[in-house]
Amino acid sequence: MTERYTTALSDPVETAQPVAETTGRMSKIGRLKQRLGRSTALQQLASSRLSVTEDNNSGITADLHPGTDPEPSKVSDYETETREEAAEEKLHREDLVRPTPKEQALLSGNIVREEFRGGGQHYVELDNGEAGLYWPDMNTTGGKYRNERATYLVDRAWQFGLVPTTVMREVTYKYGKKDTVSFQEYIPDAIDSREIKDFEAAEQFYNDFYKLWILNYSIWNTDPHKGNVIATDRLYAIDHEHAFWENSNRWRHSFMDIYILGASAPKDVIAAAEIFLSDKVRQEVLEEQLKEALQCPDHIIQACLARMIHVAEILTTKGRIETLEELSEYSPN
């Protein structure tokens, strides 16, 4: 496009010719003014009534006066909405990635007391008032410490609150060896569920039963027996060494099938399924976190996510899981 600029500096005693008001695209002088602001040179030019004629295929003539800002470029509602959505998505992602206060406490505290307990567990107390459990040399048993952390992440994505807060941190044994372990929040006053009479039929635990069943399916836990569940006034899932396996024999220890299949899902479970299914950022963050935690072949992580999405679709559509056949498509080969 050809642009023609005519600049006339008139004598101060003469009357300047009238010009049209500024409209349309900003002229080059306008852009110069925007960059320089109220410079002395511009004020001198403006006092002499600088006239600018700009040919932009519509015959626009502009008159610049001191203190008159050019018309700002208009941003469409669509662009504004897109920017707002991107900002909200960024904040949401940051919230999902950010360690919880409990995670931060378990990671930052120093061990001040340690006690060996049955089953190879080490009970420890930290200088910030937290307490936790870990198993030594878990990284030599096929990645148990990674499975524990990954299961916690899946539970956090579901927002079930079944798995005690679990982080991976380094500990130093008495003889100086350092090791990376899964360090799990200690739940005081919890008891082994096997000590509870008619545990499976306890109505107070029904909601947690349902969540636990979905969690075990999601991580493909091949060892979901009652000994891996502890209870206070609610349930907690522990010991996930046999999760994220490719073994198709998932249901051999599933003691809850008879109580879950065909039964209506609790409202809070359906609500959690709706959130997970509609929250693509939550799904993406979980995938990234599982890759970091498990460091396993990608298809194992994709299978976990596929199972979570599939069961969420069933729950939000029908509100119940009728048979195991509904889930067989997403079983390991």
Give the residue, 259 or 150, on which the prediction is more confident.
150
Nearby residues of 312 by Cβ (< 8 Å), 6 or more positions away? 273, 274, 276, 277
* pLDDT score of 5 more than 70: no
**What's the pLDDT at 85?**
86
Question: Which residues sit opposite 171 in a β-bridge?
Answer: 179
Run of H or E including 61:
strand 60-63
Residue 187 gets the label, from left (phi > 0), alpha (psi -120 to 50) or beta, of beta
Kindly report, residue by residue over 295-308, the tens digit of the pLDDT: 999 999 999 999 99
Give the residue, 315 or 32, on which the prediction is more confident.
315
Mean pLDDT of 4-9: 36
Nearby residues of 40 by Cβ (< 8 Å), 6 or more positions away? none
* pLDDT score of 19 more than 50: no
Kindly report, residue by residue over 63-112, the tens digit of the pLDDT: 445 555 555 566 788 888 888 888 999 999 999 999 999 999 999 999 99
Give the residue, 323 or 174, on which the prediction is more confident.
323
| Mean pLDDT (the chain, rounded) | 79
Amino acid at the residue 19: V
Q: Which two tokens stand for residue 7?
A: 């600049």
Ordered by start, the domain boundaries in the chain are 1-70, 97-151+160-185, 191-330
Kindly report, residue by residue over 153-202, the tens digit of the pLDDT: 999 999 999 999 999 999 887 677 888 899 999 999 999 999 998 887 78
245 C-beta neighbours (distance < 10 Å), count: 18
Question: Which residues sit opposite 133 in a β-bridge?
Answer: 123, 184
* pLDDT score of 285 more than 60: yes
* pLDDT score of 10 more than 50: no
User: How far is the C-alpha of 161 from the C-alpha of 154, rounded, in Å?
Assistant: 10
Mean pLDDT of 30-38: 44
Residue that has been written with the tokens 């899964």 in this structure: 182
**What's the pLDDT at 43?**
44
**What's the pLDDT at 313?**
97
Q: What is the per-residue burial (b if ≥16 Cβ within 10 Å, else e) of 79-115?
A: eeeeeeeeeeeeeeeeebeeeeeebebbeebeeeeee
Kindly report, residue by residue over 218-274, the tens digit of the pLDDT: 999 888 888 899 999 999 999 998 889 776 665 555 667 778 889 999 999 999 999
User: How far is the C-alpha of 173 from the C-alpha of 300, rounded, in Å?
Assistant: 33
pTM of full prediction above 0.95: no
Give the residue, 20 or 189, on which the prediction is more confident.
189
**DSSP 3-state percent helix, strand, coil across the chain (nearest 5):** 45, 15, 40
